[in-house]
Amino acid sequence: MMGKESDCDGVIPLQGLDKGVLLERLQALSSGDIRWREHRAFALVYELSDEHTAFLQEAYGLFLATNALNPMAFKSLRSMEREVVRMTANLLHGDTDVVGVMTSGGTESLLLPVLAYRQRARARWPWIKRPEIIVPESAHPALMKGGEYFDVRIVRTPLTADFRADVDAIRRRITSNTIAIVGSAPCYPYGVVDPIEELAGLARERGIGLHVDACLGGFLLPWIERVGRALPTWDFRVPGVTSISADLHKYGYAAKGASVVVYRSMDYLRHQFFADADWCGGVYASSSLPGTRPGGAIAAAWASLKAIGEDGFMDNARRMLDVSQRFKDGIRAIPPLEVLGDPPVGVMAFGSRDKRLSGFAVADFLGERGWHVDRLQHPESIHLILNPGHEHVVDEYLEDLRAAVAHVRAHPDASLEGSAPMYGLVARAPMRRMVKRNVLKVIERLHSGAGDGTDDATHLPAPLLRLMRWRARAARLFGR
């Protein structure tokens, strides 16, 4: 049995192993993963149904070996990609000028606009030497990554009390170096939609771009609107929105490795293209970040949209509204818990209104009951990404949540036990640069021979942890 990573011997066997045995080993390996099939996880996996997943496997398999690097070689992929982009543009109310590409995921769909806005600024405003893009604090870190990769300064601005982008704070940070603004629909941490219309007004006033990160909402919110739920407008209907990212592998229920980035016109998209006419290997060109692009992901995404259809997406939207409302109502009925902001559907975070009841201790209790819990650090809270299948577990989850709150109330020291203090300390640790350095060290360990790196989930040096623990205990002792 190869049930743990430590069982991996790092050896390519002399002779190939029996495929049946290997498939069994793969099954065994996955047994230690989060229990998403039983709907015990609230992150990472977006799933419509077993039947849909089996269909995606088949569609992916048909194009497993194909490569969209050369669009002339696989006309099939070119036509599927064009159609996926067109379907996305139409869904987001783009006109025929809207153009885009498929990418490997949300991160690439955010890296590319950072690059495109930078390149466009270089061409149009060559005097800008230090380009800046302004993003609300809740925007996805892939934008920071893009800033680091492409040498663009990403300026983070605070949120309003309802966890949405603060338009005035963004306005105040606009300088002559600002080349674009970003808003989310919705943002990952709180699931709330930023005030895109106001941000677009600002972008138009200043003649700069506005990217809407709809990686989460791109294939969900349009259908929510179609089933009659009013939402603020955030897509290409809003003049001033110049690009949108939308993940197929999230609520488009495609296989992993599929997203779209669309721009209002070629005037933006062309700035992310690359060509090398001088390589001895031949003229090389590409429209996005990778070289080889897996055809399977394109085929499965195309097949997913076509198989679900309008009816299927609207049915999913109703189920998602229903399951989201059940979670929200249930959480709100357990004092002192509160849902943060007003997330419309699918994604939300909740925490404790009473600082004496630790959200992280509640999370620990849920973990012990077999739920995979994701934690947010500002404020201390629990994160949920819902799939329609969560309708089967909502009552059980809420029952465990009630029990968790009762347990933490009865055992106030729970916040000083288990992993709760670790998460709390990491969230509150001063010297964020040191936290960052330590996280990078953990990644180094993950990619070296020295253990799997997961032994140090705190990312903090032991003496600092001891000191902070001591401070937390003292603060509790003196009731502060």
Ligand X SMILES: Cc1ncc(COP(=O)(O)O)c(C=O)c1O
Task: For residues 378 and 366, give the distance between their C-alpha atoms in angstroms, rounded to a whole number.
Answer: 20
Q: By C-beta, is 46 or 423 nearer to ligand X? A: 46
Q: By C-beta, is 247 or 400 nearer to ligand X? A: 247
Task: For residues 87 and 173, give the distance between their C-alpha atoms in angstroms, rounded to a whole number.
Answer: 36
For the CB of residue 305, give the shortest distance to ligand X in the complex, in Å.
17
For the CB of residue 250, give the shortest distance to ligand X in the complex, in Å.
7
Q: By C-beta, is 107 or 242 nearer to ligand X? A: 107
Cβ within 8 Å of residue 46, ≥6 positions away: 249, 250, 251, 253, 385, 387
Read off the tokens for 300. 């499965």
For the CB of residue 285, give the shortest distance to ligand X in the complex, in Å.
24
Cβ within 8 Å of residue 215, ≥6 positions away: 106, 109, 110, 140, 245, 246, 247, 250, 259
Is the backbone peptide bond immediately before 294 cis, with ω within 30 degrees of 0? no
Helix (H) or strand (E) holding 102: strand 99-103
Label residues 265-304 b or e (16+ Cβ within 10 Å = b). Answer: eeebbebbeeeeeeeeeeeeebbbbeeebbbbbbbbbbbb
* Cβ count within 10 A of residue 212: 30
Q: By C-beta, is 187 or 221 nearer to ligand X? A: 187
Check: CB of residue 184 under 8 Å from CB of residue 138.
yes
Q: Determine the residue with CB nearest ligand X.
A: 106
For the CB of residue 110, give the shortest distance to ligand X in the complex, in Å.
6
Q: By C-beta, is 135 or 420 nearer to ligand X? A: 135
For the CB of residue 42, give the shortest distance to ligand X in the complex, in Å.
12
For the CB of residue 409, give the shortest distance to ligand X in the complex, in Å.
32
Q: By C-beta, is 179 or 192 nearer to ligand X? A: 192
What is the DSSP code string of 422-478?
A: HHHHHHH-S-HHHHHHHHHHHHHHHTSSS--STT-TT-S-HHHHHHHHHHHHHHHHT
Closest CA to 101 of 72, 132, 131, 78: 78
Cβ within 8 Å of residue 45, ≥6 positions away: 34, 36, 387
Residues that bind ligand X (CB under 6 A): 105-107, 110, 140, 142, 184, 187-188, 213, 215-216, 247
Q: By C-beta, is 217 or 351 nearer to ligand X? A: 217
For the CB of residue 354, give the shortest distance to ligand X in the complex, in Å.
29
For the CB of residue 140, give the shortest distance to ligand X in the complex, in Å.
4
Per the DSSP assignment, residues forming a β-bridge with 103 are 259
The residue whose two tokens read 């009925």 is 333
Q: By C-beta, is 316 or 458 nearer to ligand X? A: 316
